[in-house]
């Protein structure tokens, strides 16, 4: 199956009082580059998640954003931070003793102070189990977003496949016209050259048939495009085969397009006939369109 390098995938899951959103965007790139943007405490999972992405996506720049926010109405603490409570109480006592400031901390005052409450995902008692839980959860959310990304890339890839196949078929039709017309080029040149010599003939010189034949032979050798036409046909077959491959084909297809362009340019330099040159121009235009499409194929 052919895949585009352009795609988008998204998923959202709830876990331990948080809503976590996964967003994946992919664009054209020569290699497979994966970039994560997520909370710092999850950077320890980056390598594992990157390998997951690279196992599924072979080429393109993949930007992955993972964000979390507390769910409304949920109580997001698992315990009091007793060290912080004691520190605040001691600070209040010192202010009273040393500076004569009067007053006492109420429960409301204490709960409004930072670091008094410990979120459940930061409790040290179950830190190891907590990390394993988050790791499995992030993997699940990432895979769901990747599934949607791949679906979009495959949908776009099917459109690219159809377009490239149609253009290759048109190139083959132009190629067939060249094959059928090429043998007549030398004969047309011979007739036109003889006609021009006849028009110039004023009986002041004698037409040398031997030199005339040599001129035609040189022209025939110089304008022969049989080898280029054969190689073009081979490239067409390879392209069609690539389009049906299950492997990433973007780079190989780009190489074949360069080779086809080279053959068409050679035909253009050899062809000394308006009809062939017209077909060369049409071929180059189609190859450029295929090259633009191939730039987005994985």
pLDDT of residue 188: 63
pLDDT of residue 106: 82
Buried (b) or exposed (e) across 259-272, using 16+ Cβ within 10 A? ebbebbebbbebbe
All residue ranges of the chain with pLDDT < 70 are 72-79, 118-130, 185-213, 215-223
- Per domain, the residue ranges of the chain are 7-73+126-155, 79-118, 157-294
pLDDT of residue 88: 84
pLDDT of residue 273: 76
pLDDT of residue 51: 95
Fold exhibited by the domain 7-73+126-155: Ribosomal Protein S5; domain 2 (3.30.230)
pLDDT of residue 27: 95
Query: Hey, CA dihedral for 182, 188, 193, 194, is it positive or negative?
Result: positive
The per-residue pLDDT for range 156-173, each reduced to its tens digit, is 999 999 999 999 999 999
pLDDT of residue 125: 46
pLDDT of residue 121: 54
């Amino acid at each position: 199956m052919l895949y585009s390098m352009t795609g988008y995938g998204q998923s959202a899951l709830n876990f331990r009082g948080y809503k976590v959103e996964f967003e994946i965007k992919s664009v054209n790139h020569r290699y497979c580059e994966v970039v994560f943007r997520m909370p710092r405490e999850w950077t320890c999972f980056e390598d594992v998640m990157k390998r997951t992405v690279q196992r599924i996506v072979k080429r393109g720049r993949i930007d992955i954003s993972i964000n979390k926010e507390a769910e409304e109405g949920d109580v997001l603490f698992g315990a009091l931070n007793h060290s912080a409570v004691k520190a605040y109480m001691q600070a209040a006592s010192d202010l009273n003793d040393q500076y004569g400031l009067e007053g006492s901390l109420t429960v409301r005052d204490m709960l409004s102070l930072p670091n008094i409450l410990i979120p459940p995902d930061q409790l040290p008692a179950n830190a190891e189990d907590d990390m394993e839980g988050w790791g499995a959860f992030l993997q699940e959310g990432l895979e769901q977003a990747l599934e949607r990304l791949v679906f979009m890339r495959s949908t776009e890839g099917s459109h690219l496949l159809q377009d490239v196949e149609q253009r290759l078929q048109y190139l083959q039709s132009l190629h067939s016209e060249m094959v059928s017309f090429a043998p007549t080029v030398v004969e047309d040149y011979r007739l036109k050259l003889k006609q021009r010599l006849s028009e110039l003939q004023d009986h002041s010189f004698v037409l040398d048939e031997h030199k005339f034949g040599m001129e035609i032979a040189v022209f025939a050798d110089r304008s022969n495009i049989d080898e280029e036409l054969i190689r073009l046909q081979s490239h067409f077959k390879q392209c069609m085969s690539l389009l049906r491959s299950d492997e990433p084909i973007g780079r190989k297809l780009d190489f074949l397009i360069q080779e086809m362009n080279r053959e068409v340019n050679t035909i253009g330099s050899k062809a000394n006939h308006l009809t062939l040159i017209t077909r060369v121009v049409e071929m180059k235009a189609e190859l450029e369109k295929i090259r633009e499409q191939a730039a987005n194929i994985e």
